[in-house]
Amino acid sequence: AKLVDSWEHPGGNITGTSDYPPIQEQMQLIKDIKPSAKTVGIVYSSSETTAEVQANLAKETAAKLGLEVRTATVTNSSEVQQAAKSLAGVDAYYVGNDNTVVSGVEGVVQAAEASGAIVIAADPDSVVRGATAAYAVDQFKMGFNAGKMAVDVLKNGMNPGDIPVQRQSDSQGNLALTVNPAAAERQGSPLPEAVRARADKTVG
């Protein structure tokens, strides 16, 4: 959105925390759950610029892990299931921070269950709704960190433009893994014990 000049030096009068998705970790999670995976399907909204950016980043990241990404676009949530079906044959689906697709995530889940593909999401609510797992930003911790930055500006007199925009990371403890073992079973890939053991939350 070009609100800041860069992550490190935002400039102007803006800084804060970002829920920029941990795509590297999310793509790795596909391999952790389904080591044989070769292809990833991504349904994204053609009207959301951030969704397209995420899809392109996922392609770049997936390629480094030996994964090929196939995509399909939608204009509204009623098209999600058909778009997911058009990608039948992929080993996994990835659902990013895309409001349109998330609102119709059950369509992705149904397509995945029919074809034996896992579903990795960028938000824990999608796991409750049937995705296999989500490696996601902890929204509470992100808000807490934003609050600390506000204190730096309002109380300590720091210039917002000099405070780096903070992206959440695992090393900061700001990412959470949510898993749904029952969904994994329905999608043909029981969760490895190593993945279950490191989960922050288990649902389903």
Whole-prediction pTM value?
0.85
Summarize pLDDT for 161-171 with one digit per residue, the tens. Answer: 999 998 866 55
Q: Of 15-29, 119-133, 188-202, which range is least confident?
A: 15-29
Confidence of residue 42 (pLDDT cuts 50, 70, 90): very high
Which of 62, 69, 71 lies closest to 25, judged by CA? 62
- Kindly report the average pLDDT of the chain as a whole number: 93
Average pLDDT, stretch 176-184?
Answer: 96
Q: CA–CA separation, 23 vs 141, rounded Å? A: 19
Instruction: Say what the pLDDT of residue 88 is.
Output: 94
Express as a percent the part of the chain with pLDDT over 70. Answer: 97
